[in-house]
Structure 1
Amino acid sequence: MLAARLLPFRATRGSHGLRGSTRLSLQQHGALCIRDTSRPRCIWTQSSGLTRLPTSKPRMFSSIGTLDANGYRLATATKRILSKIPLKSSHENIYTVPNILTFSRLVAAPAVGYLLVHNYHAAALSLFAYAGITDLVDGWIARKYQLQTVVGTIIDPMADKLLMTIGVACLAVNGSLPVWLAVIILGRDVGLAISAIYYRWISLPPPKTMARYWDFSLPSAEVKPTEISKINTALQLVLVGSAIALPVVPETIISAWHLSEAMTGFQYLVAGTTIWSGLSYVFSKNAVKILSKEEVQKRIAQAAAKRKP
């Protein structure tokens, strides 16, 4: 059977690419039909794919030949016509400005960790500030210019979590954060990562291969952060930023403003919101949504329409 996914056609056209009494026509409403003019029915028809309609006795054309035991093979001229028809893609455009900015945050996260381990707190603070600014900017650009993508909903929180994970681990090694707090924060992130791996696999349409699994331009599931998770992410970013900046602040200011005591109280606050946000993903029904095939095609079509001038 010939499998093809074709873009919709508005006009009605005919083609004599098939010999004998068989004709290929591109009909209205996106239907492609190979019709036997001696019979009032289609041999093949296409809407979402090219499907053979059953007949009582498959008719054989010596000039065309057979495709298999139950179907027909298209003539060479007809194949050339089909080869010029653009194929509908199940992939979305991931090369957008918001996604590029998000990817730069992914690259910045290991650099921040390296600077913290080697006690370059000023440089680490500058790079951390860049990550925070781009986190705000890419979201604004995506909303302003309608550049939201499914992959963006995945790599955006991934970039935040990678920066948070590396920052928390390195600050715990330096003694800037207590180990118990690092265990709570990293433990929650590990649990969410395992859940994301699981949902990505079960939502991936067949064939399930590792190449398709890591192809994030092939959307299959959408993650929607809960409200408490958004608040917790912001608090964690402030916590890590404060822990990075504290060694840079002069000791006189730390003593005058009691920043060490304030930092301790803030650590307990972040511990509470971290546990709360982790439980919200467990009990929320809308945190993870597995996309159906129709939803994937609809979103890609909408994104393509928005990109047209």
Structure 2
Amino acid sequence: MNTPSAAPSTPAAATGPAPARPAPGGPRLRGDTLGPVGLVLAGGISVQFGGALAVTLMPRAGALGVVTLRLVVAAVVLLLVCRPRLRGHSRADWGTVVVFGITMAAMNGLFYQAVNRIALGPAVTLEVLGPLALSVLASRRAVNLIWAGLALVGVFLLGGGGFGHMGPAGVAFALSAGAMWAGYIVFSARTGRRFPQADGLALAMAVAAVLFVPLGIAESGSKLLVPTTVGLGAAVAMLSSVLPYTLELLALRRLPASTFAVLMSLEPALAATAGFLVLGQSLTASQAVAIVLVIAASMGAVRTQVGRGKVPAEPEA
């Protein structure tokens, strides 16, 4: 996997300015790391509230119809805002952005098929196993295995200690969406390196939208043209696609893929919060403990990454 790697720990070998000297009382998160972490967290909040809104829209437009509205509106907005340049890119650039678009379409389609069959919290819990697996594979430090393991315990606890009571189709869709999520992390980073600003994201979103339009029309037909449905679909697109994907793409330019992936373990907690506020789904005691575990694991991974003053290097081409 061609993922970003951590810079050497010595300041002379790092790209950019040397790490700041820790203040008395222990090390602090560097500003250049705290910034992308904040972007990831903001993107996670946005996408989970967008997902909760999407659940309320499914009776109107169907799962594939909701994905179609989300991707089409997001593609139109990003293309208008970014106005990406179509000339001057290599064949490898276009190949990367096309694969990114395919991965994005698959991730969204599989996830909405999952939440159409099982509850939002368990679906996100299963989906986040993909990024967690990526964090283990991409990490170059053994201690990150401990944080990933702690997050994994929290993920299963949030799912009630097991998933045998859920339908096999919904579980399979959620796990498949998690695999695509891991692929999204990798190809989002690659796209961010090859295209300026969010140009690559806009082009990939257009690819995903083109792929999904026939599926949405086949399932929902004229329901996709109802003004209320279009308006709600536009809100889902902004919350679940435009804002989070842009924030995460920018964050991945300065944050190691392994740390980003462990941060994604916060998604079940954010989904539970969105489910409670939007869908009226309450938390059990075990779910509350699970939230504490995944937050502790994610913050521990970030602190470990920056505790020795490591600055993410320029990712490999």
- Determine which structure has greater relative contact order: mean sequence separation of CA pairs < 8 Å that are 6+ residues apart, divided by chain length: 2
Q: Which has the larger radius of gyration?
A: 1
TM-score, normalised via structure 2 length: 0.29
Larger proportion of helix = 2
Q: What TM-score, normalized by structure 1, do the two folds share?
A: 0.30
